[in-house]
């Protein structure tokens, strides 16, 4: 029993060490071998452009659902006019970035780990080495960069459409006053809230890129191995997003207190 | 097939260009290479035969430095590559070409981009020269008008030949072939055999071929080494191997089942 636990612990520590080394190599790769247009353009199309519809759909529904739920609670207390800031803060600093990241981890991260896993089991990673390319610099660094830069951008789209969805639901369908909705929102929402949301999105983008590429590189032989790598990539990204969101909320709150109080 | 290369007289080198010395390698407790020794003479074709899963591909990956031995040495042209750092190893690898079992073409790149990959990385040629070299190598392997196709549009034999074109694009000194005829129909397998012979004659490259296709082995080999249980159990010319009295080798080259079912169960 204790021996098993010790073995599991050692395995987790070894895995963490491998992931840290892999991540460091991916970041170093950005400076050693700057990703070129030939690598970046397809990634921007795949990760950025093709994710826009799903991100917009997610954002719109998140905004509308939050509006419905917040309205239901505030209506009981007769405080519907406070809905605007609560809905919009939830969207821009918490639920918008987290849900956009989870959707992107499924769509983009899953595709990346499956692609790299397939490259691993079909010896394409070995072929890269024989042709003088470092697979981490060549494949992972550009994907990490694309996720790191594009996930925040997609989060901004998601937030914008979420704010719009929340507004339409609250004002057009639930009957909250247009004036009170925006007046209260302007009073309570600060640029800091938007900054926190986008700041989190950079972290989410980075971890999605690194975790999903790492899991792809670690894929075992065969279709089953690639399938398992893809599932592991999503689960690990999901946990990293939720756990990271918690720690970043603490971090940003402390930073706010340090800077403004 | 067109013939774009001129044959040269390839004399065997004075000594081994590749020397694998007492190499051991284990994966997750499985001892695959168990003190393997092998010498490959320059400008010759060494064929390594052996049953599936005996570690032939692992041996090739040690020779090109993709894998490092747990113990032992891999000497290439007087340099112990098992001790080299990745940057130095990359320079050594530029003198090698490798043909993978499943071709290992990059799915997201066209045929031209696949074959041009190593040339572009080397940075010694402009794009016009690279295109010229790529088309020349594709003609050498008997392929025309495929440069803009994607790997998914090619048949197994064509993929294998594109893999060979990619491996020889930079005129390497050593070419490693991992099961080059596996999965091909007999005619296409012979096309690949002819191709290996032609490349040997036109480029005077040293070749190491891993296979369990005996017809292919006899056709292309200057020397044959038989691998079993992680070591070389016999080596010699094709004639010597054919007339061997070693029962293990004799059973393998004649493809006799005997007690193999019990051994593999």
- Nearest Cα residue in chain B from A125: B104
* pLDDT, tens digit (0-9, with 9 covering 90-100), for A56-105: 999 999 999 999 999 999 988 888 888 899 999 999 988 889 999 999 99
Return the residue of A nearest to B113 by Cα: A38
The answer to whether B94 contacts A126, with C-beta atoms less than 8 Å apart, is no
The C-alpha of A63 sits at a distance from chain B's nearest C-alpha, in angstroms, of 37
Closest chain B C-alpha to A8 CA, distance in angstroms? 16
Q: Give the full edge-to-edge strand order of the sheet including B96-99.
A: B96-99, B174-178, B206-211, B45-49, B223-228, B231-236
Q: Do B66 and A129 touch (CB under 8 A)?
A: yes
Domain ranges of chain A: 2-260
pLDDT at B12: 65
Report the chain B residue with the minimal C-alpha distance to residue A123.
Answer: B104
Average pLDDT, chain B: 89
Which residue from B86, B98, B107 is facing A130, i.e. has the nearest CB?
B98
The pLDDT of residue B1: 41
Vertex A11 angle, CA A10 and A17, to 5°: 90
pLDDT at A239 > cutoff 80: yes
pLDDT at B15: 79
The alpha carbon of residue A183 is apart from the nearest alpha carbon of chain B, in Å, by 51
pLDDT over 70 percentage in chain B: 92
Residue B265 pLDDT > 50: no
N-to-C CA span, chain B: 44
Selecting from B100, B108, B122 the residue whose C-beta is nearest the C-beta of A127 gives B100
pLDDT at A38: 84
Instruction: Spell out the alpha helix ranges (H) of B43-168.
Output: 56-63, 86-93, 111-122, 127-140, 156-168
Contacts A–B by Cβ distance under 8 A: 48
- Using the predicted structure, report yes or no on whether residue A132 has a pLDDT greater than 80: yes
DSSP notation for chain A:
-HHHHHHHHHHHHHHHHHHHHHHHHHHHHHHHS---HHHHHHHIIIIIGGGHHHHHHHHHHHHHHHHHHHHHHHHHHT-GGGHHHHHHHIIIIIIHHHHHHHHHIIIIIHHHHHHHHHHHHTTHHHHHHHTT--HIIIIIHHHHHHHHHHHHHHHHHHHHHHHHHHHIIIIIIS---HHHHHHHHHHH--HHHHHHHHHHHHHHHHHHHHHHHHHHHTPPSHHHHHHHHHHHHHHHHHHHHHHHHHHHHHHHHHHHHHHH-
Kindly provide the ipTM of the predicted complex, given to two decimals. Answer: 0.88
Contact A132 B118 (CB under 8 A): yes
Q: How far is B91 from chain A (nearest CA, A)?
A: 8
In this predicted structure, the answer to whether residue A39 has a pLDDT above a threshold of 80 is yes
Most A CBs within 10 Å: which of B121, B130, B134, B150, as the mutation test of the A interface? B121
Contact assignment for A126 to B61 by CB distance below 8 Å:
yes
Q: Which residue of chain B comes nearest to A33, CA vs CA?
A: B121
Nearest CA in chain A to B58: A126
Q: pLDDT digits over B175-209, tens only?
A: 999 999 988 888 888 988 998 998 888 888 899 99
Q: Name the residue among B145, B135, B62, B55 with its Cα closest to residue B98.
A: B62
Q: In this predicted structure, what is the pLDDT of residue A5?
A: 86
Burial level of B61, CB count in 10 A (0-12/13-18/19+)?
buried
Taking residues B145-170, report their average pLDDT.
93
Please give the residue that has the higher pLDDT: either B205 or A117. Answer: A117
Q: State the angle between helix axes of B156-168 and B186-203 in degrees (0 to 180), rounded to the nearest 10.
A: 10
CA of A161 to nearest chain B CA: how many angstroms apart? 33
How many other C-beta atoms are found inside a 10 Å radius of the C-beta of residue B3? Answer: 11
pLDDT 10s digits, A205-233: 999 999 999 999 999 888 889 999 999 99
CATH number of B16-95+172-260: 3.40.50.300
Contact A63, A164 (CB under 8 A): yes
Put simply, the answer to whether A42 touches B108 (Cβ < 8 Å) is yes
The residue among B95, B14, B37, B51 whose CA lies nearest residue B211 is: B51
How do residues B55-101 score in pLDDT, each as one tens digit?
Answer: 999 999 999 999 999 999 999 998 999 889 888 888 899 999 999 99
Q: What are residue B48's DSSP bridge partners?
A: B210, B225
Q: How far off is chain B from A156, nearest CA to CA, in Å?
A: 30
pLDDT at B39 over 90: yes
Owner of token pair 């991260």: A109
In chain B, % of residues over pLDDT 90: 62
Q: Nearest CB to A130: which of B64, B102, B107?
A: B64
Q: What does the domain layout of chain B look like in residue ranges?
A: 16-95+172-260, 108-167
């Amino acid at each position: 029993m204790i021996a098993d636990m010790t073995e599991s612990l050692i395995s987790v520590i070894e895995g963490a060490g491998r992931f840290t080394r892999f991540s460091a190599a991916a970041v170093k790769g950005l400076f050693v071998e700057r990703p070129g247009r030939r690598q970046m353009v397809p990634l921007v199309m795949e990760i950025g452009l093709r994710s826009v519809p799903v991100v917009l759909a997610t954002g719109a529904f998140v905004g509308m659902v939050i509006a419905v739920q917040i309205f239901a609670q505030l209506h009981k207390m007769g405080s519907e006019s406070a809905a605007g800031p609560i809905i919009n803060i939830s969207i821009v600093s918490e639920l918008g970035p987290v849900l956009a990241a989870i959707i992107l981890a499924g769509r983009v991260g899953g595709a990346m780990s499956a692609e790299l896993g397939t490259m691993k089991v079909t010896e394409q990673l070995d072929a890269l080495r024989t042709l003088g390319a470092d697979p981490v610099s060549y494949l992972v660094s550009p994907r990490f960069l694309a996720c790191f830069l594009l996930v925040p951008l997609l989060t901004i789209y998601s937030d914008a459409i979420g704010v719009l969805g929340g507004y339409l639901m609250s004002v057009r369908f639930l009957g909250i006053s247009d004036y009170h909705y925006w007046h209260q929102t302007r009073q309570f929402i600060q640029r800091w809230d938007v900054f926190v949301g986008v700041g989190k999105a950079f972290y989410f983008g980075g971890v999605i890129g690194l975790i999903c590429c790492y899991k792809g590189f670690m894929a075992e032989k065969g279709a089953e191995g690639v399938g398992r790598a893809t599932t592991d990539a999503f689960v690990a990204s999901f946990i990293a997003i939720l756990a990271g969101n918690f720690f970043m909320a603490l971090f940003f709150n402390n930073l706010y207190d340090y800077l403004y109080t | 097939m067109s013939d774009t290369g001129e044959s040269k007289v390839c004399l065997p080198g004075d000594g081994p260009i590749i020397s694998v010395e007492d190499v051991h390698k284990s994966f997750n407790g499985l001892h695959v290479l168990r003190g393997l020794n092998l010498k490959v003479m320059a400008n010759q074709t060494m064929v390594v035969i052996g049953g599936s899963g005996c570690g032939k591909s692992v041996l090739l990956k040690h020779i090109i430095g993709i894998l490092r031995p747990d113990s032992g040495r891999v000497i290439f042209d007087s340099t112990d590559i098992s001790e080299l750092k990745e940057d130095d190893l990359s320079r050594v690898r530029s003198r090698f070409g490798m043909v993978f079992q499943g071709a290992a073409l990059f799915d997201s790149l066209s045929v031209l981009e696949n074959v041009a990959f190593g040339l572009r990385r080397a940075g010694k040629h402009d794009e016009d020269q690279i295109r010229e070299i790529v088309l020349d190598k594709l003609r050498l392997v008997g392929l025309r008008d495929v440069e803009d196709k994607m790997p998914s549009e090619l048949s197994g034999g064509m993929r294998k030949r594109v893999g060979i074109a990619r491996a020889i694009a930079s005129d390497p000194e050593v070419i490693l072939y991992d099961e080059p005829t596996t999965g091909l129909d007999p005619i296409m397998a012979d096309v690949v055999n002819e191709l290996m012979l032609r490349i040997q004659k036109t480029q005077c490259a040293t070749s190491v071929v891993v296979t369990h296709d005996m017809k292919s082995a006899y056709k292309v080999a200057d020397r044959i080494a038989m691998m079993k249980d992680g070591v070389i159990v016999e080596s010699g010319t094709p004639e010597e191997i054919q007339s061997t009295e070693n029962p293990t080798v004799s059973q393998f080259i004649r493809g006799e089942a005997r007690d193999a079912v019990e051994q593999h169960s």
